[in-house]
Amino acid sequence: MLINTVLMFLRELLPLCLLLATLLVWHRSVWRSFALYFAFPSLLMLSLISLQMVWISEQLDGLGLELLYSFLYLSCFVLLCLSALKAQWALLSSAFAAACLFSISGSNLLLYIWLPGQAENTPADLVLGSALGVGIGASIAVLWYYLLTELKQWRIQSFALLLSLSGARQVMMTSALLIQSDWLVAGPQLWQTEQLLSEQSELGFFLQALMGYEATPSLSQVLLYVLCFTVLFWCCSLMEKKR
């Protein structure tokens, strides 16, 4: 129970922590406004999704939740592109992008925390597991923040590259959800790197959270990933040129 809780929290929070750290490096000087713009829509969307989760999940032949999550992941990517393209909207749209990801992770975690019987049976494990999960996630985010700050000073393109990878990860998640809902054709599996780098390994887990690492990607996933990575990287390059 304890290990399961730690893993659940890490799995949900690590991608969010990494994205938040990346965006905080970007909006370092206005981090208070960023936090404010992030907090309000996050809480609003989280409350709406959590309160209506049963209704949402029953929509569209039981695919409502997947389609909503894929929409939120895709919105996160689009908002990141928008923030790179339009300097005057950068703060607001990147905060909204992080809020989209928060609402997905938050609703999954709330569902796990409030599993019937969970809190009554093993409250200590739940509290300790959540604290450990949040702590590990936050620690990685802090390290990531300082690493990115250094990288940004050394070579600005490296920041654009990592932000683009993070954005493309959200599209990878969208495509996975759409494929399992049969809304997107997967195409043939392109490669199999499970033996080389398992998604369950520490590095695989980290790369999944950072850039959407997939050991067995399909053709449509790779095509979408490459396309969206290129678009976001191009948007980031334009942003640098404007400066």
Partner 1 sequence: MKNIELKKRQLRKNSKKALPITALLLLTLPVVAEQSVFELRIKDHLFLPSVLYVPAGEKVKLLVLNQDPSPEEFESFSLNREKVILGKGKATLFVGPLQPGKYEFFGEYNPDSAQGVLIALPEAEWLQHKANHAY
CB of residue 134 vs partner 1: minimum separation in angstroms?
18
115 is an interface residue for partner 1 by CB under 8 A: yes
Rounded to the nearest whole angstrom, what is the least distance from the CB of residue 101 to partner 1 in the complex? 16
Considering CB under 8 A, how many residues would be counted as binding partner 1?
A: 37
Q: Is there binding between residue 149 and partner 1 (CB under 8 A)?
A: no
Tokens 């959407």: give the residue: 212
Q: Binding string to partner 1 for residues 169 to 208, with x set by CB under 8 A, is what? A: -------x--xxxxxxx-x------x---xxx--------
Q: Judged by CB under 8 A, which stretch of 59-67, 86-94, 131-139, 144-152 contacts partner 1?
A: 59-67
Distance CA 8, CA 31 (A): 28
Contacts of 25 (CB under 8 A, 6+ apart): 145, 148, 149, 152, 159
Please, are residues 211 and 180 in contact by the beta-carbon 8 Å criterion? no
Spatial distance between the Cα atoms of 192 and 214, rounded to a whole number of angstroms: 9
Say how far apart CA 83 and CA 92 lie, in whole Å: 8
Residue 72 in the binding site for partner 1 (CB under 8 A): no
Q: Count Cβ atoms within 10 A of the Cβ of residue 159 and give its class: 0-12 exposed, 13-18 middle, 19 or more buried.
A: buried
Residues contributing to the site for partner 1 (CB under 8 A): 4, 8, 53-54, 57-58, 61-63, 65-66, 108, 111-112, 115-118, 176, 179-185, 187, 194, 198-200, 214-216, 219-220, 223
